[in-house]
RNA sequence: UGCUCCGUAGCUCAAUCGGCAGAGCACUGGUUUCUGGUACCAGGGGCUGAAGGUUCGAAUCCUUCCGGAGCAGCCA
């Protein structure tokens, strides 16, 4: 069977990463017949957070992208519900809803609990093969006998029970004949393994518990390591993606599949790949910490907008598309790290910028009385001058629409937009100063009213009647533009502003209680805010979406979900799905706008950046000292045989101590080295090849065995080194010869003949090659002539490629210099 | 301390087969602007964790060291 042809080019917005590379490779090799099958496998025992979103976006996104390229793809939602404790239908439903909200429809929803019968059959297979046994030690005994990371474990006294006895016991375990903890089923692998996970891992334990889907049908439940790989195999998953902490578990994943699956299924079996989980600064994402915050009512439930749970983000108003965009942007790698929260905020703003209509709301109102209102507008004091205001700034293309905003004698402006004594660089309102009212007149502050305590209670002002359009006939242009609402014709509003939950970057990282660093200002409520009247109208007229789910909080949120606004100059907002009513509007701030005036920015200041750089420099210096101090004499750990060999290599063969140590540490390699020397008596050259080229091809754990497995003898290796050392072939060509020897076992001389790899010293031929290369890369050649001499390396690379690595380096370099100088 | 994984700009990631160390975000400045928003332009930032080695040439290969994370649940 041949794999269906798959478009080699990924979609342009799909970032490339190592998992894609693996899939591309598999597609090319036809490993899974052109299929890409992934899954998102949550346990239904908690709510999802943004870290899960990364996994969802990865798994479903891969399926989408490869489907678009012509591969046969599937991505399922699979509940990993193998442990009855804590799992529930409620969680499962919430998870399903969250996945859907994020914008993905699983090809299928499956449950690991539907596979319990199959798991059991696989367990029986292992028992019959003598690869699993029933252990009757107590929990403590098992733990103690497992050993530690440095000491091997002690085999269980029950380890050698016969398959027949194990089978009998396993059947009775399943039948419910035993109490919890009386027996467990364990894989029989290696109690001394340096991988703790392989010290006879548990496969089944007894739990007399009611499972939310299977009820009391089962009283033995499979462990993760046993079940997960089999779930993948049952579902024909091709690429099983999980987070880095399962790296160690991959060993048992592979072991179970290789021993439980029938041989014919092995070539297409699933493989596990691990990627870095998403961590964010200034917040916590672990299930346990989240639970703690909810339980001691630090936050107001799982959907508290301060939390990075999916429910919290949803209630806060973050659109799913922004989360998807963010998850794609953070990348998929194997290096753990912590993403700066400003990255997330940027993603949300970026997503909302061209989607949220602009309106005006004043969060902390300060009353302004227009003293010349009647004169300037020609209206009576109680009337409103309705100004047409665009929903979109001119640079958001493709969006249209305006609404009318009432301009009345008394207005509210943002308290923050007025300073009686303006600091340097402040270009909003101050006594005697003129600003532009957004979508309206120019306004000059003519007076300040204060209470007895000296607090500003109201401003008096005048407008310029000629500036109704927002332009002045004389062309003057105020520095500041501020937003405003009518005092009489605006709606009251409660605005909830959210900030990072913690005051430190990594709240969970130290030993102390992470709740010590809670940010008291993570939620700030502005209860006296006011908003222009058009918004209430917009919300009322908004048609209901047909796909909403009635009844649930999320369903109500969906209905309102199409209404996210930018409150000009303050941020993106939407009505709170729980508490907002038309009579008493409540809006959540989704994310503030960037504010280069505000001191408190979510990004880093220049000083902070510099401080970090200095700190990193210090760390590097300290590390350098420690690295050199830690260097110790390798010979110290040698046994007498190795020591003798070391001295021989160093004193008789004349190797330097590092090389001698590497060889002496691996005695079979030293033997190979000696044998090669019989052919070509140049110890340093042979040592270089042995250590730098040969060693890389050998298994660390079993050098002797992999030496035996080589398709050539030490003598052939020695002859290769001789060819290189004596200049018959260049060292680059010698490397090519070597890799062909590894693959085919052909004698080196034959390869050189067949491929024509003799060293090329012919000056004329090299000059021709150099000229050709220079012609093919005129831009680089010009840059070289302008003094970018480091490009010589680039040209050398080209020549080497053109001559199959045979060019003599010195001659080639000289030829290039000459040709390029012309 | 055994094993596994990971160290490239402040952060997240690139860098075909060993061949010119780059991008986005963040930062600084400028242009545009009826949002201190957006967009656009420019700039600063790197001893590729360190030291040795192989090579004409190393972020990439070899050795050693340093640092960080994970693994000793009948959780997943």
Q: What is the DSSP string of A277-327?
A: PP-BTTS---HHHHHHHHHTTSSSSTT-TTS-BHHHHHHHT--HHHHHHHH
What's the pLDDT at A619?
83
Q: How far apart are CA A257 and CA A718, in angstroms?
A: 42
Average of pLDDT values for A262-278?
94
pLDDT at A554 (0 to 100) = 34
Q: Is the pLDDT of residue A9 over 80?
A: no
CA angle A250, A254, A260 (to 5 degrees): 140
**Catalytic member of A43, A409, A434, A811:** A43
Residue A11 has pLDDT above 60, yes or no: no
| pLDDT score for A544 | 34
Q: Is the pLDDT of residue A220 over 70?
A: yes
Residue A25: its pLDDT value, please?
85
- This prediction's pTM: 0.90
The one catalytic residue among A287, A328, A468, A817? A287
Read off the pLDDT of each residue in A221-250 and give the average, rounded to a whole number.
96
Q: In sequence order, what are the residues at sequence separation of 6 or more whose Cβ sits closer than 8 angstroms to the Cβ of residue A608? A: none
The Å distance, CA of A793 to C1' of B19, is 5
Question: Could you give the angle at which helices A714-725 and A748-755 cross, rounded to 10 degrees?
Answer: 50
Q: Does residue A561 have a pLDDT over 70?
A: no
Q: What is the mean pLDDT of residues A376-391?
A: 95
pLDDT > 90 fraction of chain A, expressed in percent and rounded: 72
Closest residue, by C-alpha, to the C1' of B55? A731
Q: How confident is the model at residue A553 (pLDDT cuts 50, 70, 90)?
A: very low
A163 vs A762: CA distance, rounded Å: 73
In chain A, the percentage of residues whose pLDDT exceeds 70 is: 95
Query: Catalytic: A43?
Result: yes
- Specify the pLDDT at position A4: 41
Nearest residue to B39 via alpha carbon and C1': A395
pLDDT score of A114? 98
pLDDT band at A555 (very low <50, low <70, confident <90, very high): very low
Strand A491-498 with A523-531, pairing: antiparallel
Residue from A521, A587, A524 nearest A560 by CA: A587
Between A539 and A372, the higher pLDDT residue: A372
User: 3-class DSSP state for residue A340?
Assistant: coil
In strand B, which positions have an atom below 7 A from any protein CB? Answer: 1-15, 17-21, 24-28, 33-39, 44-45, 47, 49-58, 61-76
Mean pLDDT on A209-218: 97
> Residue A107 CB: number of other CB atoms within 10 A?
16
- Average pLDDT rounded to a whole number, residues A556-582: 80
Q: What is the per-residue pLDDT across A321-345, written as a single tens digit (0 to 9) for each?
A: 999 999 998 889 888 888 889 899 9
Closest nucleotide to A423, Cα to C1': B36
Between A3 and A509, where is the model more confident? A509
Report pLDDT for A317.
95
Between A71-80, A108-117, A372-381, A771-780, the lowest mean confidence (pLDDT) is in A771-780
Q: Is the pLDDT of residue A154 over 70?
A: yes
Q: Mean pLDDT in chain A? A: 90
Nucleotide nearest to A82 (CA to C1'): B76
The separation, in Å, between residue A711 CA and nucleotide B5 C1' comes to 32
CA of A192 to C1' of B40 (A): 63
Q: Helix (H, G, I), strand (E, B), or coil: what is residue A399?
A: coil
Q: For residue A710, what are its two tokens?
A: 């080589």
Q: Comparing A139-153, A169-183, A634-648, which segment has the lowest mean pLDDT? A: A634-648
- Asked whether the predicted pLDDT for residue A549 surpasses 60, the reply is no
Annotated catalytic, A449?
A: no
């Amino acid at each position: 069977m041949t794999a269906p042809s798959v478009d080699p080019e990924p979609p342009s917005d799909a970032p490339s990463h190592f998992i894609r590379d693996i899939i591309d490779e598999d597609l090319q090799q036809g490993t899974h017949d052109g299929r890409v099958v992934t899954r998102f496998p949550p346990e239904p025992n908690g709510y999802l957070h943004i870290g899960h979103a990364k996994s969802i976006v990865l798994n479903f996104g891969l399926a989408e992208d490869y489907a678009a390229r012509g591969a046969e793809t599937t991505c399922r939602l699979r509940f990993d519900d193998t442990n009855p404790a804590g799992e529930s239908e409620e969680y499962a439903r919430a998870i399903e809803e969250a996945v859907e909200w994020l914008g993905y429809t699983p090809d299928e929803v499956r449950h690991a609990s539907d596979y319990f019968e199959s798991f059991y059959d696989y367990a029986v297979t292992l028992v019959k093969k003598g690869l699993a046994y029933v252990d009757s030690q107590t929990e403590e005994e098992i733990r103690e006998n497992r050993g530690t990371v440095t000491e091997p474990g002690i085999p269980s006294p029950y380890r050698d029970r016969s398959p027949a006895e194990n089978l009998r016991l396993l059947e009775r375990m399943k039948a419910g004949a035993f109490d919890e903890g009386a027996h467990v089923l364990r894989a029989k692998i290696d109690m001394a393994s340096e991988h703790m996970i392989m010290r006879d891992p548990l496969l089944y334990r007894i739990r007399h518990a009611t499972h939310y889907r299977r009820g009391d049908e089962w009283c033995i439940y499979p462990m993760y390591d046993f079940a997960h790989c089999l779930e993948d195999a049952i579902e024909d998953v091709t690429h099983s993606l999980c987070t880095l902490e399962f790296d160690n578990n991959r060993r048992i994943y592979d072991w179970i599949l290789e021993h439980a699956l029938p041989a014919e299924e092995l070539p297409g079996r699933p493989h596990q790949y691990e990627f870095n989980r998403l961590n964010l600064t200034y917040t916590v994402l672990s299930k346990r910490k989240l639970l703690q915050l909810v339980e001691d009512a630090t936050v107001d439930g799982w959907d508290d907008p301060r939390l990075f749970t999916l429910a919290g983000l949803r209630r806060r108003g973050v659109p799913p598309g922004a989360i998807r965009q963010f998850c794609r942007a953070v990348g998929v790698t194997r290096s753990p790290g912590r993403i700066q929260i400003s990255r997330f905020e940027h993603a949300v703003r970026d997503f909302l910028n061209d989607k949220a209509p602009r309106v005006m709301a004043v969060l902390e109102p300060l009353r302004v009385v227009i003293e010349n209102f009647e004169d300037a507008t020609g209206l009576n004091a109680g009337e409103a001058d309705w100004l047409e205001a665009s929903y979109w700034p001119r640079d958001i293309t493709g969006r249209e629409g305006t609404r009318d905003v009432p301009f009345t004698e008394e207005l509210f402006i943002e308290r923050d937009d007025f300073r009686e004594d303006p600091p340097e660089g402040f270009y909003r309102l101050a006594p005697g100063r003129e600003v532009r009212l957004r979508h309206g007149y120019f306004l000059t502050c003519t007076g300040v009213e204060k209470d007895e305590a000296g607090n500003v209670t109201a401003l008096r002002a005048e407008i310029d009647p000629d500036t109704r359009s927002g332009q002045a006939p004389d062309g003057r242009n105020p520095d500041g533009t501020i937003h405003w609402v009518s005092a009489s014709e605006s709606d009251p509003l409660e605005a909830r502003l959210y900030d990072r939950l913690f005051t430190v970057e990594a709240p969970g990282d130290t030993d102390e209680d992470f709740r010590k660093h809670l940010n008291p200002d993570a939620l700030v409520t502005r209860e006296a805010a006011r908003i222009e009247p058009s918004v209430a109208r917009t919300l009322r007229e908004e048609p209901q979406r047909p796909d909403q789910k009635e009844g649930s909080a999320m369903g109500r949120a969906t209905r309102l979900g199409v209404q996210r606004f930018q409150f000009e100059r303050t941020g993106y907002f939407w009505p709170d799905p729980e508490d907002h009513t038309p009579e008493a509007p409540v809006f959540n701030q989704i994310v503030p706008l960037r504010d280069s005036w505000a001191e408190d920015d979510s990004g880093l200041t220049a000083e902070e950046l510099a401080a970090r750089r200095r700190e990193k420099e210090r760390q590097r210096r300290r590390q350098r000292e420690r690295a050199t101090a830690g260097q110790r004499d390798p010979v110290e750990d040698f046994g007498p045989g190795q020591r003798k060999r070391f001295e021989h290599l160093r004193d008789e063969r004349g190797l330097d101590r590092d090389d001698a140590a590497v060889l002496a540490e691996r005695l079979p390699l030293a033997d190979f080295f000696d044998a090669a020397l019989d052919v070509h008596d140049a110890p340093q050259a042979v040592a270089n090849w042995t250590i730098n080229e040969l060693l890389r091809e050998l298994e660390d754990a079993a050098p002797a065995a992999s030496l035996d497995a080589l398709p050539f003898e030490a003598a052939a290796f020695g002859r290769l080194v001789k060819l290189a050392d004596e200049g018959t072939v260049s060292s680059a060509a010698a490397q090519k010869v070597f890799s062909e020897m590894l693959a085919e076992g052909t004698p080196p001389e034959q390869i050189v003949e067949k491929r024509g790899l003799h060293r090329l010293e012919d000056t004329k031929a090299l000059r021709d090659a150099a000229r050709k290369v220079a012609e093919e890369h005129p831009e680089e050649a010009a840059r070289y002539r302008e003094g970018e001499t480091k490009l010589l390396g680039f040209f050398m690379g080209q020549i080497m490629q053109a001559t199959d690595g045979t060019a003599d380096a010195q001659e080639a370099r000289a030829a290039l210099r000459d040709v390029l100088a012309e």
